Structure 1
Amino acid sequence: MISRVLPMVRKTARCLTGLGIAACAAILATPQAQAVHPAHWSYRTEAQYSTGTFDGTVVNNYGQLMLGHPVNSLLPDGKFTFVNAMVHGLHGGIYFGTSPDGKVYRLTGGKVTAIYSPKGAAVQVLAMAINKQGQVLAGINADGKGELVKLVPQAGGGFAHKKIFSSSVVRYIWCILPMADGSIYFGTGPDGAVWRCNPKGAAKAILHTGEHNVMALLNAGGGHIIAATDGAGLVMRYSEKLKKARVLLAANNAEVDALAIDEQGDIFAATASPVLAQSGGGAFKPQGTSNGRPVAVMDESGMAGAQRQAGKPAPGKPVARQHVVKMLLAGPRPLPFPHTGHVKSNAVYQIEPNGRTSVLLHVPDMVLSMLYSHHHLLLGLSGHGRVVSYDPITQSRSMVVFSHSCHDIMCSAMGRHGRVYFGTANGGQIFRMEPGFAPTGAYTSKVLDAALPAIWGSAHVDAHLPAGASVFIRTRSGNVKNVQQLGRFWSSWSAPMPANSYRTISSPAGRYLQFRITLMSGKAKASPVVESARVNYQQLNVPPVIDSITATKMAGKPMYSIKWSASDPNGDKLSYHLEYKQQGIPVWIRMHASPDNSPYAWNISGLPEGRYRIKLIADDAADNAPQTALRVARETRYILVDTQSPQIAQLKATVKADGRVQVIGVASDSGSAIVAVAIQVDSQKHWQPAQASDKMFDSPLEGFKALTARLKPGPHRIVVRATDSQGNSGYASVLATVR
């Protein structure tokens, strides 16, 4: 039968106006079916924010949302595919190399000019650098040959080019390191060598790493060059004086694509293994740290208290930065040089001047570029157009999303006045990140799914607001998930609701919600900081669902086994009631109440014969107010209640000459078909089936006959049993004497 919704109490329109509950961004826990109570989405972690869209905002590893650096895109959209390498000119302007068109461009004053177009059918510009004379160096793959080209600015504004290295053995020049004496080091593949070109232009391979490609080079000072490879992920230190190399790190068979160095001589090496990358789905994780924020606690003299107690440094002397690093990173470290254990993700390694090596940060994606600037590492990641700013001292981290249309941050370069430039691939673009923070920015959550139609409660943003700054939240709702294409069917963005207050969401009831947090610095000299955001919601109560109800006659007993299956989309606790009524009588009689869906055995022995229907009622009153509780019902087909035994008449036994006995008679039943007749001689265990007169037992009136085996002389009692389709049996007996 069809399910019917039966409101226990008529719902009023007011149930749509006041109830509220939670909704706020990348779900703290994915909404699942649950009883109709207030629920919420809460945003307070980096992982939760990472599912949304950033516009002039960043989130750090403490889950704080704030204004980001001002970021501008500098290239026309769609013109370039890969910006592989980039360098800032000594006198301004950006030089960058591309593929697949394989040219060197200059960007200055918003104008892009090609300054070098190598010849060849397949050309890639893979590396760039600039020497102290302001000459641009470009590493090029042209038709399978590796070339190093010098581009010299001319008085007329153009550039003269000079090919200073070309080799068919070398196909790729991955990195270039010009030195103060005019010599040039460059890393190559697939020969896996470091080459040196002296000031006179003579080139020679000075280090063969044993791997296929040298991906990065770094000047460590003191006559030492640092080289990083693919394959085993070796980081090697080469001594110009000794003409020898030493392995500092073997990075778990993950190629090292980026190197950086800080003021203290600590070297940072970042890996870019596609096997270890998790496509942005993993989490950043500092190595060897517990929960909470590591901080340096300073006393009035500017000293770190823990170090002063240990006697370092002397009283009154400011704490040197490297001392704070050692204090804050004094937790457990991986195995020291030359191997750092079984790291299962891409990572940033720290190599100290004394040779100690440790994992500084686990990274979910490939690190394709890295800069050290103002005590922070800037990591350019693969996928999702993201840059991570990481402070090795406090282990604080913030993430900048430039554009979801630009996938990989391939290169980076320091500019003037604290500006940093980033080049991207799979959507070739150059982004310029300014110092300071943007005057305004916004964060938009992903589409949040309440799983069922819902009403919205309050929205609350917990924010720190410097004087003059402001933060507010807006919402919109809809009943289709694809807001990108079907946003016209959503409500408009609501009026702004200020932070640090609880405001009722005005968006219409629906299944889906989205929120946008806007941050404005105003006259403040610092960014407002959102500590958390929370949006409350409550699913509208929907009726339970009864999937099935069955009634099966129990063999040999005057009982039916009643089973059912039901559920509630809201996850409400259900209670059940069973009722029955006889055909032709308009009265339902309750026979059972159950708090669960355990089968029920219905005893029909006291019921009049006839056809009956069973009804199951399921209600969710246990988890809902009377005004909103709902119930549904489902009925079985008519079932036959027949508790009377069949009758046996006209029973007659005839003794044959050979000693066998033939038994005949008629079996009948008032309500059910006769389905079997059998005989038993002298109470033996065996029942011998009889034969229907019309060859089949299938009606309420059946004649039958049976022939026994040869019996011994003397009297014999023969019992006849007739059984109907409801399992009821009737008995009769007859006496036969064999002579």
Structure 2
Amino acid sequence: MLKQKNTAWFCVNVAAALFWLWSLGALPARAEGAAFWEAARKEDYLSGRLVGLSVSDNGILRVVPTPQLLGDTQQPFALCSLLVGQDVYIGTGHDGKLFKVATNGTMTLVADFEELDVTALATDGKGTVFAATSPDGKIYQLTGGSARVAYDPPEKYIWALECLADGTLVYATGAKAGVFALVRGEMAARALFTTDESNITSLLVAQDGAIWAGTDPGGLVIRMAPDKTVTAVFDAPSREIRQLAQLADGTVLALGIGDGKPAAATSSPVTSADVTTGDGEGGASPPLRPASGGTTLYRLGSDGRQAPIWTTGDTATVLVRWQAGVLVGLGSGASGGQGRLFFITPDGQASLFGTVDEERVAAASVGANDALYVVTSGLAKLYRLGPENQNEGVFTSAVQDAKALVEAWGYCYLESKGDVVFQTRTGNTQSPSSLWSDWSAETPSPGGMIRSPKARFLQWRIRLKKGAEVTAVRIAYLPKNLPPVITSFSVLPVGVALQEAVMPPPDPSLVTSGLDPLQFGIIANQPPRKVFQRGARTLQWQAEDKNGDTLTYRLAYRLRGQTNWKPLAEKLRNPFFVITPELLPDGTYEFQLEVSDSASNPTALALTSTQLLGPVIINNRLPKITFLPSVISEKESKLKVEILAAAFPLKSVEVAFNGGDWELIYPDDLVLDSASETFTLTYRQLLPGEYLVSIRVLDAALQTTSEKFILAIKP
């Protein structure tokens, strides 16, 4: 019993030492044999599911407020919200309904409009609520629980509403993009300014009374000063400015969506003009569509400086001032189906503030004592997030794939403080189901041995109590060793040899460090270069190992028709081997390639794969040239030549007469396709004397041979 305790003490302390080394960067992410799943960055946690937790930019998990459900509209989409006193108004689509939810959870259907979407809400601060609808929409006024049409503008889409201090209603439009003012009691609106853009998508009434607007698809931020001067103050790289917010120091933040904006986008301010009621069609431009390409938050300082301070690959729809910074709400498939709120400081420091189970955060309002009212989409619900942390939070990882059944689980190491526990579950299906194991018993930090059954997939979760933090998580396992796979095994043409690329030897300390040589500019496994080597036969292959093991190669050979294999080369590291002319005698051979991962595995776990190649002809004999008996005379001489190929077919035959140029000749049957070919050389009207006839032969192995014949013409 004492021995077991000492063993456990030793294992835990070794685990702690390993984790300490890893945290300092002293251990590679994957050692020989062992492999690890790690979570130490913000992105690692965002790939999983967080409940009641925030994650900072430097990857620290903390407990935060848990959303409290106040109301469920039973509608699929929410497009806008507005906090008025103790009530939250929620505009939905595509049934065009407006709900009011009291902070005690009481929910009322305020209006069911004819139009499809409730796109914007505003209040004059005196109890009157305005709602804008689209398409072919209207502006409704809600007073005393009833809704009436306050104005029917000619524009097709209304994207934003704001009320000025004097009660004037300002609205932004699409299709015919502009910003218009509707003075209470008047029957017509007047244009504050219009642009060449398709849509004005956002409005902000600044502290100094200026009106700011964001556009689509040019991504412009436009400001109308209190003196009515209109200026495009920012041309963002993004396609659309979805939301605008202002901080206490006057800094304006702009939420840019998407990319791929047109090459040029300009605003065209106009003088004030009355706009009378029309037929409601507005124009032929297409409606605003969700942009793609992620989200960028821009800071527009009061000093004129403009800079992007935060970006994400998801599409954001919410920007609301909160405490000393802003909250950005977003959600997409990339975030695992959760709507998420990020808190962004003015200098761009971001932390995940909270999550909801629905797929998107659609709107948000800040109430008294920094209480936050969040509206979701996917299912249009209202949540309240109070300022105080809950008792605990839970993080559930994405499913981890070992690519094959694991050989053994190792330890789960937690770098944390406070009350933290972890659990695991495993299975052999990609998605957790009833076929998976149950969650293991909770193990407190700093961790311990994983007790879940061996399987291909693993999921882990950690539970943090109030005040606890998690800095990093590391899970160790030994992958099931998989046999190497030979993807190709071939022989190159005769005479083509390979030479290993000459590389300077790496630093021995780098070799033993386990670090990737690419980090130091060392390119490993450079392809060999091809060179000509007469008579050489080069065997070349490709093999891969899903475990990433180091592979070694063994070659054996036998003459075709034989049974036993003979060793040719062992412990090869390069995926090729050159058979020089003197290495093997002439013949037709078969070769066996064996690939082993023994360099990375214990002998008992090492695996091999083999593949055969053949037939491969090895021949160092040259074609044979024979001059046959011929008829020779002064009038006409017919010289007969027989050429016998060795192992390779003939490629070309040439003749040179009396030291002249080489000329290509064909056999008597005109086709150079046999092991034995006969050629007839005819010479007429030669003067008496001796003439030199030379024959040169090239075979398919690029071997050449030649013979000469003295043609004597007697008088």
Q: Offset of 1:721 from its aligned partner?
A: 7.7
Deviation per CA, 1:502-534: give whole Å up to 9, x if none: 434634142x43322222x2xxxx332111112
Question: Does residue 1:126 correspond to 2:119, yes or no?
Answer: yes
Instruction: Tell whether the 8 Å contact from 1:146 to 1:173 is kept in structure 2 after alignment.
Output: no
Question: Does residue 1:550 correspond to 2:528, yes or no?
Answer: no
Change (3 A) 1:527 1:206: farther
Question: Does residue 1:363 correspond to 2:284, yes or no?
Answer: no
Q: How does 1:85-100 map to 2 (within 5 A)?
A: 85-90=80-85, 92-100=86-94
Name 1:105's counterpart in structure 2: 99
SS in 1 for 2:599: helix
What is the CA–CA distance in structure 1 between the aligned matches of 2:615 and 2:560, rounded to whole Å?
8
Name 2:578's counterpart in structure 1: 600
Q: Which amino acid aligns with 1:421?
A: Y
Q: How does 1:308-327 map to 2 (within 5 A)?
A: none
What is the CA–CA distance in structure 1 between the aligned matches of 2:463 and 2:651, rounded to whole Å?
79
SS in 1 for 2:207: strand
Q: Offset of 1:436 from its aligned partner?
A: 1.9
Name 1:437's counterpart in structure 2: 389
Name 1:83's counterpart in structure 2: 78
Name 2:442's counterpart in structure 1: 496
Name 2:130's counterpart in structure 1: 138
Q: How does 1:5-404 map to 2 (within 5 A)?
A: 36-76=32-72, 79-90=74-85, 92-108=86-102, 110-118=105-113, 120=114, 122-130=115-123, 133=126, 135-141=127-133, 144-152=136-144, 159-161=145-147, 163-168=149-154, 172=158, 174-177=160-163, 179=165, 183-189=167-173, 190=176, 192-193=178-179, 195=181, 197=183, 201-202=185-186, 208-211=192-195, 213=200, 215-218=202-205, 220=207, 224=209, 226-230=211-215, 233-234=220-221, 236=223, 239=226, 244=228, 249-250=233-234, 252=236, 256-260=241-245, 264-275=248-259, 346-349=296-299, 351=301, 359=307, 361-364=309-312, 367-381=316-330, 383=332, 385-392=339-346, 395=349, 397-403=351-357
Name 2:424's counterpart in structure 1: 474
Question: Does residue 1:580 correspond to 2:574, yes or no?
Answer: no
Q: Offset of 1:162 from its aligned partner?
A: 5.1
Name 2:613's counterpart in structure 1: 636
Name which of structure 1's ranges 531-540 and 264-273 shifts more when overlaid on structure 2.
Answer: 264-273
Instruction: Tell whether the 8 Å contact from 2:136 to 2:155 is kept in structure 1 after alignment.
Output: no
Q: Which amino acid aligns with 1:533?
A: V
Change (3 A) 1:625 1:87: same
SS in 2 for 1:636: strand
Change (3 A) 1:128 1:452: same
Instruction: Tell whether the 8 Å contact from 1:477 to 1:490 is kept in structure 2 after alignment.
Output: yes
Instruction: Tell whether the 8 Å contact from 1:464 to 1:528 is kept in structure 2 after alignment.
Output: yes
Name which of structure 1's ranges 435-444 and 726-735 shifts more when overlaid on structure 2.
Answer: 726-735
What is the CA–CA distance in structure 2 between the aligned matches of 1:397 and 1:249, rounded to whole Å?
29
Q: Which amino acid aligns with 1:371?
A: V
Instruction: Tell whether the 8 Å contact from 2:374 to 2:383 is kept in structure 1 after alignment.
Output: yes
- Normalising to structure 2: TM-score of the pair? 0.71
Q: Which amino acid aligns with 1:437?
A: N
Question: Does residue 1:423 correspond to 2:375, yes or no?
Answer: yes
Deviation per CA, 1:444-496: give whole Å up to 9, x if none: 2223344555444322121111xxx3332424243x53x16xx4554444343
Q: Which amino acid aligns with 1:228?
A: A
Question: Does residue 1:712 correspond to 2:687, yes or no?
Answer: yes
Q: Which amino acid aligns with 2:389?
A: F
Change (3 A) 1:563 1:644: closer
Q: Which amino acid aligns with 1:144?
A: D
Name which of structure 1's ranges 499-508 and 393-402 shifts more when overlaid on structure 2.
Answer: 393-402
SS in 1 for 2:44: helix
Question: Does residue 1:515 correspond to 2:460, yes or no?
Answer: yes
Q: Offset of 1:149 from its aligned partner?
A: 0.3
Instruction: Tell whether the 8 Å contact from 1:674 to 1:702 is kept in structure 2 after alignment.
Output: no
Q: Which has the higher contact order (CA 8 A, sep 6+)?
A: 1
Instruction: Tell whether the 8 Å contact from 1:690 to 1:704 is kept in structure 2 after alignment.
Output: yes
Q: Offset of 1:63 from its aligned partner?
A: 1.0
Change (3 A) 1:611 1:84: closer
SS in 2 for 1:149: strand
What is the CA–CA distance in structure 2 between the aligned matches of 1:498 and 1:214, rounded to whole Å?
50
Q: How does 1:610-625 map to 2 (within 5 A)?
A: 610-625=587-602
Instruction: Tell whether the 8 Å contact from 1:390 to 1:397 is kept in structure 2 after alignment.
Output: yes
How many residues align structurally?
A: 606
Q: Offset of 1:137 from its aligned partner?
A: 0.6
What is the CA–CA distance in structure 2 between the aligned matches of 1:730 and 1:252, rounded to whole Å?
77
Q: Offset of 1:730 from its aligned partner?
A: 8.5
Q: Offset of 1:651 from its aligned partner?
A: 3.5
Q: Offset of 1:249 from its aligned partner?
A: 4.7
- Percent sequence identity is 19
Runs of 5+ consecutive residues of structure 2 not aligned to the other structure: 1-14, 20-24, 262-293, 497-531
Q: Which amino acid aligns with 2:109?
A: A
Deviation per CA, 1:224-256: give whole Å up to 9, x if none: 3554343664464754xxx65676953637665
What is the CA–CA distance in structure 2 between the aligned matches of 1:580 and 1:249, rounded to whole Å?
77
Q: Offset of 1:564 from its aligned partner?
A: 0.8
Name 1:506's counterpart in structure 2: 452
Q: Which amino acid aligns with 1:462?
A: E
What is the CA–CA distance in structure 2 between the aligned matches of 1:505 and 1:431, rounded to whole Å?
38
Deviation per CA, 1:50-81: give whole Å up to 9, x if none: 2222233221222112223111344447x313
Name 1:290's counterpart in structure 2: none
One of 448, 469, 485 as aligned partner of 1:529: 469
What is the CA–CA distance in structure 2 between the aligned matches of 1:271 and 1:672, rounded to whole Å?
73
Change (3 A) 1:36 1:568: farther
Name 2:505's counterpart in structure 1: none
SS in 1 for 2:253: strand
Change (3 A) 1:730 1:220: closer
Change (3 A) 1:378 1:612: closer
Q: Offset of 1:412 from its aligned partner?
A: 1.7
What is the CA–CA distance in structure 2 between the aligned matches of 1:230 and 1:688, rounded to whole Å?
77
SS in 2 for 1:540: coil
Q: Offset of 1:637 from its aligned partner?
A: 1.6
Q: Which amino acid aligns with 1:713?
A: P
Instruction: Tell whether the 8 Å contact from 1:192 to 1:229 is kept in structure 2 after alignment.
Output: no
Deviation per CA, 1:312-347: give whole Å up to 9, x if none: xxxxxxxxxxxxxxxxxxxxxxxxxxxxxxxx9632
Instruction: Tell whether the 8 Å contact from 2:254 to 2:300 is kept in structure 1 after alignment.
Output: no
What is the CA–CA distance in structure 2 between the aligned matches of 1:207 and 1:722, rounded to whole Å?
93
SS in 2 for 1:534: strand
Q: Offset of 1:39 from its aligned partner?
A: 3.1
SS in 2 for 1:461: strand
SS in 1 for 2:475: strand
Note the aligned Cα RMSD (angstroms).
4.5
Question: Does residue 1:653 correspond to 2:653, yes or no?
Answer: no
Q: Which amino acid aligns with 1:707?
A: T
Runs of 5+ consecutive residues of structure 1 not aligned to the other structure: 1-19, 24-28, 153-158, 278-343
Instruction: Tell whether the 8 Å contact from 2:634 to 2:713 is kept in structure 1 after alignment.
Output: no
